[in-house]
Structure 1
């Protein structure tokens, strides 16, 4: 009897998760114009992040920060304004459930090698984990859009993005422009 009850609970949880993902798909339709229907981006928009396979918690926090003004963007801030907490969670869960696909970016292997060395030196995996898959409120950066990575590292370095409790800001301030470019090549090339 206990096994049957546990099986029923697991089935109910799976059905609820599927409903959440479908609710997120509906809410994310407007996001598809820039992020793609499955979070793998839109050709010709290299500055826009890939959302597929990102941690749901990170996506939720970023939407909340855009809505509440802790992070600003002329595009994302107004997009986040009408979203409720449940909307943000649904959208985040939808994109987290998608699979990040290999991208067409041509990695410069020499720069990627230098980026890997810099990532090891600055202990990036302490937060982003091995494989750079992210955790909780720490984003997945493996396979991320090169131009987005570079832009965000520069924003942290310049302190124009500060919604990170200071962690990325303190790391980014130690990076040279070449380090940032190399890290972009390394992270974009991870699969």
Structure 2
């Protein structure tokens, strides 16, 4: 009877140990986390811009705080120009339209979409008005030489300058400045972007996208304009154009030059140092003024 109790206790211990081992080797499934709620895509985001009032730059400045982390306080992306494009000096309509494209999903960007989704059409117009008032900066164009091909011996920015200002009539390429202006600031009218001073990596990336000719935009009119231009550009020409536009900036107009000259004229003239009066050097036969003349050896006769 005693042996039966011992065996019974031992069997119970084995069962307990086995149960503990099974519990330790079995991973209990975690409860599913609820999905993160995000703003839904708005397929009518671009069309809603037409109903919004003209942008208020002061309201846009209040909204621009969220943009400053990447694009800088004035939209010149000085924080990291190798990742973020310049948006300073862009037209109100262009900025608003791009934000609407991000919100509708017609322009894909995992980085920009979360910022665009909560914005109303009026917010987009206000942000555009704010950045339109900011002065765009500029970078430096690549002055390296093209080593092969039809542009051999030319500098990269010279190739870009030729295409930007003259195009290529033989291939039916119009001059870029016909739409973007001589200084790349964008002509009034359609929402042509400000390309002068833009980061070269961003301009080239956009030109490659246009050359591929694939877009999810519902209204492809403006996209197709650029696609027809970029379709015949070579990689070398795209990089040269992007480099030239990076260094492109507006020259001061006559009014600005006059203001600069007036400001310079109003500055007090720098003090002219007094000329030092030269100290005369005595002749060798002159007595040292610091010593008394020697007395005559023979006194005067009475």
Q: TM-score, normalised by structure 1?
A: 0.83
Q: How does 1:54-65 map to 2 (within 5 A)?
A: 54-65=90-101
Corresponding residue for residue 5 of structure 1: none
Structure 1 stretches of 4+ with a deviation exceeding 4 A read 160-163
Corresponding residue for 1:87? 123
CA distance 1:61–1:88, change in 2 (3 Å): same
Q: Which residue of the partner structure matches residue 115 of structure 1? A: 160
Q: Which has the larger radius of gyration?
A: 2
- The equivalent residue for 2:268 is none
**Map of 2:6 onto structure 1:** none
Aligned residue in 1 for 2:31: none
What CA distance in whole angstroms lies between the structure 1 residues aligned with 2:246 and 2:216?
Answer: 23
Q: Deviations over 1:100-128 (max 9, x none)?
A: 1233x453261010011122213212221
Query: How far, CA to CA, are the matches of 1:117 and 1:36 in structure 2?
Result: 32
Give the length in aligned residue pairs.
173
What is the Cα-based RMSD across aligned positions, in Å? 2.0
Decide whether the 8 Å contact of 1:112 with 1:183 is kept in 2: yes
SS of the residue corresponding to residue 238 of structure 2 reads: helix
- For structure 1, the 5+ residue unaligned runs are 1-16
Is residue 176 of structure 1 aligned with residue 234 of structure 2? yes
CA contact (8 A) 2:71 2:77 kept: yes
Query: Quick one: distance in 1 between partners of 2:229 and 2:141?
Result: 26
**Which structure shows the higher helix fraction?**
1
5+ long unaligned stretches in structure 2 = 1-53, 145-154, 168-172, 250-302
CA deviation string 1:122-173 (max 9, x = no partner): 3212221222211340001011111111111111112355653401111111
- TM-score when normalising by structure 2: 0.54
